[in-house]
Amino acid sequence: MKTSYKGINLIKRFEGLRLEAYRCPAGVWTIGYGHTKGVKEGDIITEEQAEHFLKKDLEPVEKVVNRECMGINQNQFDALVSFVFNVGETAFCRSTLLKCVKANPANLNIKGEFARWNKAGGMILAGLLRRRRAETELYFEAV
């Protein structure tokens, strides 16, 4: 499966587009739509480069979700791609969220598992609360 337009727009909405490198709330140098690999202070990119980075950054995330989450629908896939894009593969693969999805993708406990991932740097962030709510809504939205 590949991330749909709906999933890409969800990621873009929460990552935002920044053409100059900045430190995210977790202290990581970031640019474009949440791109972090090789980013350093003072970097500047174009919108086209940001789109390219996002496309490339989604490839390994999609691979992980495809490998770990069999039998899910497009909305569930998109929501999980957004989640993994934000928290990282290692955290996702160790998460209770993944265990719940694997056991039963329709399990309502998944809502609470998304909601638990609301902190950066040890602090609850309003942006992460909104993102997890949007991911949960998309995950449980009928296809």
Domain range list for the chain: 5-140
Question: According to the model, what pLDDT value does residue 15 have?
Answer: 94
Question: According to the model, what pLDDT value does residue 120 have?
Answer: 82
Question: According to the model, what pLDDT value does residue 117 have?
Answer: 96
Residues of the chain with pLDDT under 70: none
pTM of the model: 0.93
Question: According to the model, what pLDDT value does residue 26 have?
Answer: 77
Helix (H) or strand (E) holding 105: none
Q: 27: Cβ–Cβ under 8 A, 6 or more apart, which residues? A: 121
Distances (CA, A) of 10 to 17, 58, 77: 12, 13, 12
Cite the active site residues: 15, 24
pLDDT digits (tens, 9 = 90+) for 93-133: 999 999 999 999 999 999 999 999 999 888 899 999 999 99
Question: According to the model, what pLDDT value does residue 142 have?
Answer: 87
Question: What DSSP state is assigned to residue 141?
Answer: S
How many CB atoms within 10 Å of residue 105? 16
Q: 58: Cβ–Cβ under 8 A, 6 or more apart, which residues? A: 3, 8, 11, 81, 85
CA-based nearest residue to 93, from 60, 131, 58: 60
Provide the terminal-to-terminal Cα distance of the chain, rounded to the nearest Å: 15
CATH fold of 5-140 reads Lysozyme (1.10.530)
